[in-house]
Structure 1
Amino acid sequence: MTRTSPRSGYDVVVLGGGVAGCVLAARLSEDPDRAVCLVEAGPDYGPRPEDWPERIRDARALPRDDVWERHTASHRIRARVLGGSSCVNGAWNTWGSHADHEEWTRAGGERWSAAALEPYRLRAVARMGLRTVPDRELSAWASAALTAAAGLGHEEVDMGAPGRPGYGRPLLNAVDGLRRNAAFAYLDPATRSRPNLTVLGGALVDRLSVRGGLVRGAHVVLDGERVTLTADTYVLASGTFGSPGVLLRSGIGPAAHLAENGIRCEADLPGVGANLSDQPGVFVPLAPTDALNRSLAAKEAAGELYVSRMLVRAASEHCPPGAWDLHLLPTAGPPLFGGLPPGRYEAGVSAFLMKPVSRGHVRLRSADPLEPPEIVPAFLTDPAGRDLAVLRAGLRQVEELASALRPLATPTDGPPAHGLSDAGLRERVGTYWHPVGTCAMGPAQDPRAVVDGQGAVHGIPGLRVADASVLPTVPAANTQLPVLAVAEMLADTLRR
């Protein structure tokens, strides 16, 4: 594990070493006259990929060792390691629709438009070394799903770029089964060698010291000792669950909630921890044929079995023209949860609701930074029932796709998923692991807004948030590539 001693003061302290934090630290330290400190609660395994644990480098699995909570509800899973979610996710990168940018532009201004973010998308694609899924990584199931999607009339599209509904393969931050996480891409040996960059692994952010409307320091627990880091600018990049937690412990948030936890209110911002949005979904299991099981076993024996390698962007009747509000995801391979006998695999198709209306929240249980927060995703709870309606539309499309895949897998017993009761759907709902929104951007007069379009916290000069938590709505995409691009853009606002 890499350990660097902190100095007394910096120009910028970045609190959180996940995807956004790695981008910010790398870009801001390009200026040799700017002293930058990156703080990460989890381990930093160093600048050389070969020194990292194999479990983190393996792109065929979803590692669950370097996380905040083990054996917890699936929606609570979040990485605790330098590189953040890019170390534990599926290494997929897709892009959203024009409707996403219209929502973001209304909240944050023109820098959030599709045209303005495009150079940052391209910059992130290049730095991460993203590539399209190669043919050799397609299983018989994935190949059949591509053919089935075309047969159902879907158009083939580039999943990593602005576009239309359709089917295709995602961009990957992985090559030959080896994951290239954000720490590898942005904090490579050349970047780490900069004398103006300090990387602190194993450093838990407790809170900010806020007095008189200004941040006076960041309190961090390093090797069991409390350390105060000072800077001209503090940038929170602790993620959708972590960033609101730091703000709340610092006295920035809803006054009543702060009082409940014995925290003095320094800035009454009701939006902190509110507006939690994640993408729920329902998996429809299918029974693999013996032929599919044999094919998957052979692929696994060759070390080339990937559970999912294609998806369909689909639209419900509630979706704006030219956009999409659903992902249909065919999967086949070892089960995500539990196990099966050797030579047998799980197959099915999921429908994920990409543009949910329902909103949950993140709150403190106490002022202790080691106490896990209260996380309520509130899936499928909007009073008008729109989320349930869109999900049912997606499950009807799942049934069509599954029917086209019948030579390889057949429906299991039971009623079709789209015909389940509301309670039945809620019982089966899972998550795509793409939470956003708990420090949402918006104008200062909006009581729900926490930051402006540059990530600056309303009413607290010198404090910014620059991660997925600032997005007021979740994009119709896997969030890694959008967060990379947003962090690139917000880094530019800090460099000027």
Structure 2
Amino acid sequence: MTAGRTAAGRDAARPSGHDVVVLGGGVAGCVLASRLSEDPGRSVCLVEAGPDYGPDRSGWPVAVRDARALTRADVWEHGVPVHRYRARVLGGSSCVNGCWNTWPSAPDLAAWRAAGGPGWREAELDRHREAAVARMRLRRVPDHEVSAWGRGFVTAAAELGWTEVDMGRTGGPGHGTPLVNALDGLRWNAAFAYLDPETRARPNLTVLADATVDRLAVGDDGRIRSAELVRHGRRHSLAADTYVLASGTFGSPAVLLRSGIGPAAHLRRLGIRPRIDLPGVGENLVDQPAVFVPMTPRPGLDAALAASEAVGDLYVNRTLVRAASSSCDDGSWDLHLVPSAGPPLFGELPPGRYEAGFSVLAMKPASRGHVRLRSADPTDAPDIDPGFLTDPGGRDAAVLRDGLGLVGRLAASPALKALADPVPGRSARDLAARGTRELRDALGTYWHPVGTCAMGPPDAPDAVVDGEGRVRGTANLRVADASILPTVPASNSQLPVIAVAELLATTFQD
């Protein structure tokens, strides 16, 4: 066992360089590095492609700390379709998302157990959910953070028959608020939660930022010999006993593919020598499509939103409904209906004017997309196709139309009709009347991609990893992030991914 404070270069690479190297400093990577380094006899190196703003959270950029805004400074690409947004900073998506945390449905957890085995029991995941809630300081939304638009939405939802539910647990349809990792405006990201100054001071933990993972060097026996990195324009090799990919649903399959682990035919077309033929790498991409229904705020709503902003309490989203489409199983939900009101996410409005509306989000889409390489160059962004509304039966489009119908009823309720008016040509009814191709052109995303390194039992032909994240055909490689989830949960993904990382950290042996 060796301490790991010094980043290894190509000449310094040796099998005992580190006990564990975690490749990716996003939400899952922060959890794993923190938990695995709790054992003082285990040396851990955490590698992140983006910046590390340090142990003192007051030194982090204001935009990253602000829970009221969605910063786009620390992302891989700019000027791209919204489904391609990927955080590139220590703390990952917890530094750029809406700070929302909700929990999957019971059928979601049952599907994961079927894929991952008995270690994925609902009670076990719930234990790790509780650990995640504590470390991320998750809390209920206080009343003063719910805007006039959000309060009207809750009133309308109750009038239409939805009862209040706990969004932090399994259950059924209903209205409520998410758990938020926001403390009086401070975004409590995963780096703050899991890599606090005391954790960073451990002599067996190294945090290596600004280092892009190119590929893994795979031996003929399936054992990983090193991780090949690019840092400040120079190439480095990092050696370890165990390698853990935590580069996210887009990044983890890309690293595997560049390493020769994936569909052999795809690799050969790119001139990459196939080392391990795993057809499922990069396939099974699933994300939650969204349709936004804009509304025109009336003067009273603009004034109320301005008053909230003046005292620092204007949060764009703080309430939601878990709803069931006509094709959803009884007792579950396959839609989120989310009201929003505040500064526009895209574009600008004059002072004192705000954007308002509803997002309709299909939580359990049948459509599947993919992540593939354009080339073997790690600086060349991968081909990311979410495949929205491509399911042959058209179920996903039907679910969105059901959601639009529900939003139309909410918008027509007295509580909301008094606050905002539909936008001509873009009302819920207008959007629901569009054909599937036109509806697809209007889509956004909830930013919860999963599935590209899916786990499964030994007889699952397209599974990439087992229930402990071990990559098939390799001896010392795991994947431990959202990419291993074979199905997308009917929830936001941050809380379940943190709980999964907590779970997987317990499977490492001393």
TM-score bracket, shorter-length normalisation: over 0.9
Q: CA deviation at 1:495?
A: 4.1
1:409 and 2:420 correspond: yes
- 1:130 is matched with 138
Matches of residues 261-410 of structure 1 in structure 2 within 5 Å? 261-404=270-413, 405-410=416-421
Q: CA deviation at 1:4?
A: 6.2
**Cα distance in 2 for residues equivalent to 1:27 and 1:119:** 15
- 2:105 is matched with 97
Choose the corresponding residue for 1:258, options 258, 267, 270. 267
Q: CA deviation at 1:227?
A: 1.2
Q: CA deviation at 1:416?
A: 2.7
Q: What amino acid is aligned across from residue 65 of structure 2 in structure 1?
A: R
**Cα distance in 2 for residues equivalent to 1:73 and 1:426:** 13
- Map Cα deviations across residues 463-493 of structure 1 (whole Å, 9 max, x no partner): 0000000000100001000000000000111
Query: 1:276–1:437: 8 Å Cα contact kept in structure 2?
Result: yes
Q: More deviation in 88-97 or 155-164?
A: 155-164
Query: 1:99–1:320: 8 Å Cα contact kept in structure 2?
Result: no
- Map Cα deviations across residues 243-294 of structure 1 (whole Å, 9 max, x no partner): 0000000000000110111111010001000000000010111111110011
1:148 and 2:156 correspond: yes
Q: What amino acid is aligned across from residue 436 of structure 1 in structure 2?
A: V
**Cα distance in 1 for residues equivalent to 2:47 and 2:437:** 42
Q: CA deviation at 1:457?
A: 0.4
**Cα distance in 2 for residues equivalent to 1:117 and 1:458:** 24
Q: What amino acid is aligned across from residue 417 of structure 1 in structure 2?
A: L
SS in 2 for 1:131: coil
Q: What amino acid is aligned across from residue 411 of structure 1 in structure 2?
A: P
**Cα distance in 2 for residues equivalent to 1:166 and 1:458:** 40
**Cα distance in 2 for residues equivalent to 1:146 and 1:88:** 26
**Cα distance in 1 for residues equivalent to 2:360 and 2:30:** 32
Q: What amino acid is aligned across from residue 468 of structure 1 in structure 2?
A: A
- 2:447 is matched with 433
Q: What amino acid is aligned across from residue 307 of structure 1 in structure 2?
A: V
SS in 2 for 1:437: coil
Query: 2:28–2:481: 8 Å Cα contact kept in structure 1?
Result: yes
Could you tell me the TM-score, scaled by structure 1's length? 0.98
Residue identity over aligned pairs, in percent, reads 65
- 2:472 is matched with 458
Q: Where do 5+ consecutive residues of structure 2 fail to align?
A: none
Q: More deviation in 295-304 or 70-79?
A: 295-304
Segments of 4+ moved more than 3 angstroms = none
**Cα distance in 1 for residues equivalent to 2:481 and 2:113:** 17
**Cα distance in 2 for residues equivalent to 1:105 and 1:228:** 36
SS in 2 for 1:199: strand
SS in 2 for 1:38: strand
Query: 1:110–1:116: 8 Å Cα contact kept in structure 2?
Result: no
1:36 and 2:14 correspond: no
1:19 and 2:27 correspond: yes
Query: 2:5–2:203: 8 Å Cα contact kept in structure 1?
Result: no
- RMSD of Structure 2 on Structure 1 (CA): 1.2
1:45 and 2:59 correspond: no
Query: 2:373–2:383: 8 Å Cα contact kept in structure 1?
Result: yes
Query: 1:28–1:495: 8 Å Cα contact kept in structure 2?
Result: no
Choose the corresponding residue for 1:420, options 416, 428, 434. 434
**Cα distance in 2 for residues equivalent to 1:6 and 1:170:** 39
Query: 2:75–2:86: 8 Å Cα contact kept in structure 1?
Result: yes
- 2:230 is matched with 221
Q: CA deviation at 1:419?
A: 1.8
Query: 1:283–1:349: 8 Å Cα contact kept in structure 2?
Result: yes
1:60 and 2:61 correspond: no
Choose the corresponding residue for 1:470, options 473, 484, 495. 484
SS in 2 for 1:391: helix
**Cα distance in 2 for residues equivalent to 1:356 and 1:257:** 26
Q: What amino acid is aligned across from residue 83 of structure 1 in structure 2?
A: G
1:200 and 2:211 correspond: no
**Cα distance in 1 for residues equivalent to 2:329 and 2:45:** 43
Q: Where do 5+ consecutive residues of structure 1 fail to align?
A: none
Q: What amino acid is aligned across from residue 146 of structure 1 in structure 2?
A: V
Q: What amino acid is aligned across from residue 211 of structure 1 in structure 2?
A: G
1:448 and 2:449 correspond: no
Query: 1:284–1:350: 8 Å Cα contact kept in structure 2?
Result: yes
Q: CA deviation at 1:163?
A: 1.7
- Map Cα deviations across residues 53-89 of structure 1 (whole Å, 9 max, x no partner): 1010001100000000011110000100000000000
Query: 1:434–1:478: 8 Å Cα contact kept in structure 2?
Result: yes
Query: 1:209–1:215: 8 Å Cα contact kept in structure 2?
Result: yes
